[in-house]
Amino acid sequence: MINILRTSHVCIRVSDLDKARYFYSELLGFVETEKDGDYIYLRGIEEGQHHSLILKKANSAGLSYIGFRVSKGEELDKAREELENLGHKVRKFREKGINEALLFESPEGIPILLYYDMEYVGDLRLAFHRHRGVSPVRLAHVNYMVKDLERELEFFKRFMGYYETERFLDKDGNLTVVWLTRRGDSHEIAIAKSSKNVPGFHHETYYVHDVKDVIKAPDILASVGLWDSIERGPGRHGVTEGYYIYLRDFDKNRIEFFTNDYVVLDPDKWKPIVWTYDQLRYRSDFWGRPIPQSWLTEWVPVEDISTGQLKGWSE
């Protein structure tokens, strides 16, 4: 088992960096650490690391990779050996603020980056005069789609050290969605099963401090005429308990703002919460409101780590 500290950052593809900067930084309030060529590096107000969200200029939307921080540098050597023993292709990788990292794909084809040391630039938690938009606090979790959920789950439990907090079963009692954590949040990763358009990335989520910040997000977008970017919510999930809002950027990448979920205090005592198919309505939205069709059927492709090009979806 690799000693993972936390889900660290996400690199997503955008077609226009200026429009993406306007959406994420000027409107929603992400802190811009710097722009470097075809990349913009953003973070939340309480994140001291160089970045937690990378906007990468590309010709279409998609996920470049999900980053995870390990507990010490030696874990990277351990991870490389173990991954290669498991048959994974592993690449050495560097990005702005990180000199040494490993890039590989999960069993179901999700690009994953492991690193230990990222440049530290300091947080803005008490610099209230610099908080803007919804004041994103920190990366909370990621959500993606795979064909073989059991295979992916086994990898994250055995190799990455995550454990289940909640799960959802379909009408036949088969596992359809699982929520996982490493540090004890309600979840840091959600993985869903799909028979088509996989592997796919559904969304990244940022924690905010207050429900009013969740509500502020659609207020901000509506005030500049971006009504079509407001996809779902505000609402409250039954699973994980959090209040939420889902938004789409100009390329249809999806982002969620989220607050007031629970914390697992005693992992050794925790038993995963099981949601059955007849509980779907309030599992997804505790108030019983319908889910937009776009949320159920639309997500973005992921990159191939060898080529940097988007993978085709398996049907």
Label residue 296 exposed, middle or buried (CB < 10 Å: 0-12, 13-18, 19+). Answer: exposed
Q: What is the pLDDT of residue 107?
A: 97
Label residue 273 exposed, middle or buried (CB < 10 Å: 0-12, 13-18, 19+). Answer: middle
Q: What is the pLDDT of residue 314?
A: 64
Q: What is the pLDDT of residue 313?
A: 83
Cis preceding-peptide flag for 218 (omega within 30 of 0): no
- What pTM value is reported for the model? 0.97
Task: Tell me if residue 297 falls in helix, strand or coil.
Answer: helix
- How distant, in Å, are the alpha carbons of 110, 111, 160 from that of 107? 8, 10, 12
Residues paired with residue 40 on neighbouring β-strands, in sequence order? 35, 55
Q: What is the pLDDT of residue 249?
A: 98
Q: Consecutive 10-residue runs of the chain (315 residues): their mean pLDDT?
A: 95 98 98 98 98 97 98 95 94 96 97 98 96 97 98 96 97 97 96 96 98 98 98 97 98 98 96 95 94 96 95 77
Q: What is the pLDDT of residue 315?
A: 57
Q: What is the pLDDT of residue 312?
A: 87
